Amino acid sequence: MEADVTTCYRHPSYETYVSCVRCERFICPACMREAAVGHQCVECVKEGQRSMRRPRTAFGGTVSRTAVPVVTYALIGLNVLAYLAELIRPGLVDRFEMAGAWLTDGDGARYVYVDGGYPGFDVVGVVGGEWYRLLTGSFLHLPPDGTSFGSLPFGVLHIVFNMYALWTLGRGVEEQLGRVRFLALYLLSALGGSVLVYLVSPTDAVVGASGAIFGLVAAFYVIGRRLGRDRREVNGFLAGFLVWMLLSAAFTSWEAHLGGLLTGAAVTVVYAYAPTGRRAYVQAAGCVVLGAALVLLVVLKTAALTG
């Protein structure tokens, strides 16, 4: 008596007597995938890959299969696009820069803010409800016709230095933290820099990604200490950026630098030392609490300015 003919479940015209070790369906050579024992079908291999836990870093970030720092490149692209928009429409700087408290007349001229406002003048800035400036200013940079540094306009150097620092720091920090944690760190650092500007110098007008960049500097330092890297190298790196903060204060805002540095350090400490068992929850809660604290500081400062 002839045995029943068995065929591949995906290719019924192909006769085969080999079955998948997981689902036991018959498979042809085109559908076979080698396993530790025997062969598996294509679908079982895919199912196994989906159920397999991907490795994570010491900070909870998922190890990317492509190793492409997507968020870092996206942030660089947004900054460059914003700068090109500034060149086309210079008025965007006045509209979206970090401005804490200003007064404007009917012609749009700016004046120093008077507590509580002044009759006949419009209140401009965060104090006037334009909270978006706390973040939008971090994606703008000084225009090319601004302060010169030697033969080059500082506006060009401003964005070039910041984007180079973002490219240099962002790739390593994003690799360790993962995309979501890295983006939260960047935005909170930018917010922290703007909040300190608002608290200390509310009449200043500030642009630049420096606050967020210094948040990445602090993150790089904390990550280096957490992973036990050579302390001399990490300390020297941090010292170099602190010197840069002091030198660039002549052209940009030291408050934004310091605010971003402190915020970035606080966020990364939470990332680095959250208990492993409930790491994601503690990290998310830490970011929410820190963000709420920054918002509260803005509210209190606004109340003080408006009387």
**Rounded Cα–Cα distance for residues 289 and 293 (Å):** 6
In the predicted model, is pLDDT for residue 52 greater than 80?
A: no
Catalytic residue among 138, 189, 194, 210: 210
Confidence of residue 261 (pLDDT cuts 50, 70, 90): very high
Q: Look at 158 and 60; give whichever has higher pLDDT.
A: 158
What does pLDDT average to over the chain?
A: 83
* Residue 210 designated active-site: yes
- The per-residue pLDDT for 155 is 66
Q: Over pLDDT 90: what percentage of the chain?
A: 33
**More confident: 234 or 186:** 186
Task: Encode pLDDT of 108-140 as tens digits.
Answer: 666 666 666 666 677 778 988 899 999 999 999
Q: Which pLDDT tens digit goes with each residue over 282-296?
A: 999 999 999 999 999
User: For residue 148, what pLDDT is reported?
Assistant: 41
3-state secondary structure of 278: helix
Contacts of 271 (CB under 8 A, 6+ apart): 59, 60, 177, 181, 185, 222, 283, 286
* 141 carries an active-site annotation: no
Q: Where in the chain is the domain with CATH 1.20.1540.10?
A: 70-306
Instruction: Flag whether pLDDT at 170 surpasses 80.
Output: yes
Backbone angles phi, psi at 200, to 5 degrees: -95, -45
Q: Which two tokens stand for residue 82?
A: 């914003």
Average pLDDT in the 214-236 region? 82
Tell me the range of 103-107, 177-181, 192-196, 245-249 where mean pLDDT is highest: 192-196
More confidently predicted of 46 and 62: 46
Cα angle for residues 232, 237, 242 (degrees, 5° grid)? 125
Alpha helices in the chain (DSSP H): 42-51, 70-88, 91-96, 133-136, 154-177, 179-200, 210-226, 231-248, 254-273, 279-306
> What's the pLDDT at 187?
97
In this predicted structure, what is the pLDDT of residue 151? 41
169 by DSSP, 3-state: which? helix
Residue 274 CB neighbours (<10 A): 19
State the sign of the Cα–Cα–Cα–Cα dihedral 244, 249, 252, 255: positive
Task: Give the CATH H-level superfamily of domain 70-306.
Answer: Rhomboid-like (1.20.1540.10)
Q: How open is the CA angle 258-256-198, to the nearest 5 degrees?
A: 115
Tens digits of residue pLDDT in 136-156: 999 998 887 655 444 445 668
pLDDT at 152: 46
Write out the two tokens for 89.
């429409």
pLDDT for residue 1: 38
Indicate the pLDDT class of residue 249, thresholds 50, 70 and 90. Answer: low
Is the confidence at residue 241, as pLDDT, over 80? no
